[in-house]
Amino acid sequence: MKKVLTGLSNNVTANKQKIKVWSESFRKYSDGEIILILANANDDDRKTCDELNIKYYEVVVEDTWYINHKRLEHTRDFIRQSDGDVFLATDVFDVLFQSDPFEKMDLDNYDVFISREGILVCEEPWNADVINKVFPDETRSCMQTEIVCSGIIGGKKEALISLYHKLNDMCENSLNGHNIKDQAALIIMVKNNEIERLKSFSLDEGWAMHCQSAGPTQFFESWGLKNSLIRKGYGIPELKEDGLVYTQSGIKYDMVHQFNRVENWKKIITKEYE
């Protein structure tokens, strides 16, 4: 079974260090292949990928203001032409690996893997605002839905081709009230039970944690996110003395997302990749 890590990035040379953290932390724990979807590449970007020992698949994104959902069709097309069997598509600039995320994927029982953030849409102003601006007819029915993150999605080839195709169609046919649409589309699909054989990891299962909602950011207490996680029984993710992030029950997260939003965490967990 061939495993592939991918993600789409433009401005690669300017963000070389961020991509190094993403690729080298994955390589430390997994034997999966790394292939970057390289958007609007120039010769320096190709050279940077070569220096980082990363294979790449070139695409053109004409309107980078909407790159967060324009990546959907390119991710779909990359997976379609790839000889991989199972994929993990993530954000590139702010994902760090602490173990092999493919190991928790139960491929006998599930085809698609995502992660929940531990917070309801009604409890987190940003996601609620985006859904209201992009898919206003869905706003009310999404309020009691737990936020799922579009920045980390894994699964089998055909299932992901189908998922990315549907997400892209939703975004392309939505209102242009916000330039980041893909997460809102994913939340709606999950709420409507539109993804077959879906495994949605909870925050306390240790697959992925997202610092926007579960890390000590500037909004963690003022928005009530910390109390919400405690009230739901998830507990608070912790950075421990070994420089790794764990669930409150002591399970090491496979992936830490948005670590750059917590400056003291970022300094510690990225130190070995400097």
DSSP conformation class of 260: G
The residue written with tokens 């939340």 in the block is 187
Give the span between the Cα atoms of 226 and 219, in whole angstroms. Answer: 9
Name the residue type at position 211. Answer: C
Q: What are 45-100's pLDDT values in tens digits?
A: 999 999 999 999 999 999 999 999 999 999 999 999 999 999 999 999 999 999 99
146 forms beta bridges with: 120
Q: What are 234-253's pLDDT values in tens digits?
A: 999 999 999 999 999 999 99
CB atoms within 10 A of CB 22: 27
* 28-48: average pLDDT: 98
Provide the sign of the torsion angle of the four alpha carbons 26, 85, 91, 52, taken in this order.
Answer: positive
- The per-residue pLDDT for 10 is 97
Q: For 221, phi and psi rounded to 5 degrees?
A: -95, -40
Q: Are 9 and 54 in contact (CB under 8 A)?
A: no
Q: Which residues contact 11 (CB under 8 A, 6 or more apart)?
A: none
Q: What are 89-112's pLDDT values in tens digits?
A: 999 999 999 999 999 999 999 999
Q: Whose CA is closest to 6, among 36, 42, 26?
A: 36
- The per-residue pLDDT for 215 is 96
- The per-residue pLDDT for 29 is 98
- The per-residue pLDDT for 200 is 98
Q: What are 118-157's pLDDT values in tens digits?
A: 999 999 999 999 999 999 999 999 999 999 999 999 999 9
Q: Whose CA is closest to 186, among 170, 206, 174?
A: 170
**CATH number of the 3-273 domain:** 3.90.550.10
Q: What are 202-239's pLDDT values in tens digits?
A: 999 999 999 999 999 988 999 999 999 999 999 999 99
- The per-residue pLDDT for 13 is 98
Q: What are 176-204's pLDDT values in tens digits?
A: 999 999 999 999 999 999 999 999 999 99
The residue written with tokens 């053109």 in the block is 60
Q: Whose CA is closest to 6, among 196, 271, 19, 17?
A: 19
In which band, very low, low, confident or very high, does the pLDDT at 262 lie, cut at 50, 70 and 90?
very high
Q: Whose CA is closest to 130, among 177, 81, 71?
A: 177
Terminal Cα-to-Cα distance of the chain (whole angstroms): 32
CB atoms within 10 A of CB 148: 23
Domain ranges of the chain: 3-273
Q: Are 202 and 234 in contact (CB under 8 A)?
A: yes
Name the residue type at position 274. Answer: E
- The per-residue pLDDT for 168 is 98
CB atoms within 10 A of CB 105: 22
Q: How far is CA 143 from CA 187, 204, 244, in A?
A: 10, 22, 33
pTM of the entire predicted model? 0.97
